[in-house]
Amino acid sequence: MGDWQVVDWVIDQLGKEYDKPFFLACGFFRPHLPWYVLQEYFDRFPLEGVSPPVVEENDTSDIPLAGKKLIKFRDHENVKKYDQWSRAVQGYLASGNFVDEFVGRVVDALEQSEFKDNTIIILWPDHGWNLGEKQHWRKFALWENTTRTLFMVKAPGIPGNGSVCSSPVNLLDVYSTLVELCGLPPNPKNEGSSMVPLLESPEQAREVASVTTYGKDKHAVRLRNWRYIQYNDGSEELYNLEDDPNEWKNLAQDADFEDIIREMTKYLPEINAEPIPRK
């Protein structure tokens, strides 16, 4: 499979000699659809032990029309109609476990190389995923499950290695972080913020919002425990992720949270590019 070939190639690169610092990218296709992996990975997650996520039946009732237009209702209807929800979760888990092993092979190869003590590792996928939450599947939306990703950093001499940090960050921050860790001059054109302070003190709070965009004038702002969504028609969603991690209660119309919304809107992009026209 392609991912296996990628790992073999990366391991080969780690076995070579270099006369200067190098950057090495290792990209995996899984757990992207279709969830085709060897049967042994499915066997690790027997169907009788697999359960669909906990959902609320009327979860979409307080979502504005612009948000509902993003939901893949037909996907969800078909998954339920043909009783495939647990199988879908099984396929997702199997594919994730499949790629976990490949990450392990790469890390093992690094540990056995001469670069083990002076290499920065950053591990991330490109987006989150819905498995039926909000009757939605795949990505293509602005909720927490849809956009939040796994994110790990290990860097030589960093005090926070092995710790968990709860402050939201953004993939735009990767470049700025690598630049600082490598002792290179910052690029003034970059919009990301270095995560080095969080790597050194993971427990500290970060007052930098993480903004996600899906289409023109459609944005989500994540700051502390809050997620705020504004669509291109001005409609809104607001969730307190500490009290409501599943985003079941939209607080945007509650007058008690006007100050929070006012704070979150300060982080919305001032420039909204037009979509790239399809050929």
pLDDT in tens, 12-59: 999 999 999 999 999 999 999 999 999 999 999 999 999 999 999 899
Closest CA to 52 of 127, 170, 132: 132
Confidence of residue 274 (pLDDT cuts 50, 70, 90): confident
- Is there a domain that residue 260 lies in? yes
Determine contact, residues 124/149, Cβ cutoff 8 Å: yes
Rounded Cα distance between 1 and 14, Å, is: 21
Range of the domain at 258: 209-271
> Distances in Å between the alpha carbon of 75 and those of 71, 134, 147?
9, 12, 19
Q: How many domains does the chain have?
A: 1
Bridge partners (DSSP) listed for residue 236: 230
Does residue 191 register a pLDDT over 90? no
In a domain, 65, yes or no: no
Model pLDDT, residue 196: 95
The CATH number of whichever domain residue 232 belongs to comes to 3.30.1120.10
In a domain, 28, yes or no: no
